A and B are shown apart, each in its own frame.
Chain A
């Protein structure tokens, strides 16, 4: 039972353009959603989060949108930079700070 799904395993985008990463979930009990970024041979690094009672959260170049009725969230990165090339994981948080992660989306930003 995959509670969090990232249906696009990879994404390629030109430097300066927008990257849009999508995530779908099934568990209505998630109270927060988080995005983590992972470089090779490193652990995931927290990027941005959104409460389930909000529909948008913005932090610099990163914006997360939540559509609760569709059980869908997305991460927008604009403008994309070569240093953004990494694997991005979406996660839902349930009771006890338990994170359930999606399978990740590999982003490649081309110069």
Chain B
């Protein structure tokens, strides 16, 4: 069974540019999460989806970050414009339901110059 797929794996951009990350969760998983992991720290939740509904986006910096999960499957996380402090690994995770084990993708390492 395929795991959580993320692309791109690496992205280097200049500050003020837009960037987007894509995630395909494990088939049948209704709950999808986006995390940000700064260097030397643990992942921090940005947003959680139940199907296509964002049920917890309290940690998402809404001035520059946006996310969508059209049709309740794939999801895209966007940053516009990117800042130097956005350099991090962006992880996507999915779970069967809202109380089940979360499975993580390999992440997208973003470098903002």
Contact = CB atoms under 8 A, between A and B. Distances in A.
Interface of A: 4, 9, 34, 36, 41-46, 49, 89, 91, 96-104
B4 interface: yes
Interface in B53-108: 55-56, 91, 93, 95, 98-107
B81 to A, nearest CB: 27
B28 interface: no
B106 A98 contact: no
B90 to A, nearest CB: 11
B106 A43 contact: yes
A99 to B, nearest CB: 7
A88 to B, nearest CB: 10
22 contacts: A36-B104, A41-B106, A43-B91, A43-B93, A43-B106, A43-B107, A44-B43, A46-B101, A46-B102, A46-B103, A49-B101, A89-B42, A96-B56, A96-B98, A97-B95, A97-B99, A98-B45, A99-B102, A101-B41, A101-B42, A101-B44, A103-B42
Contact of A44 (B55, B100, B104): B104
- The main secondary structure of chain B at its interface with chain A is loop
A101 B106 contact: no
Pairs A-B, 3 closest by C-beta atoms:
A101-B42, A43-B104, A44-B104
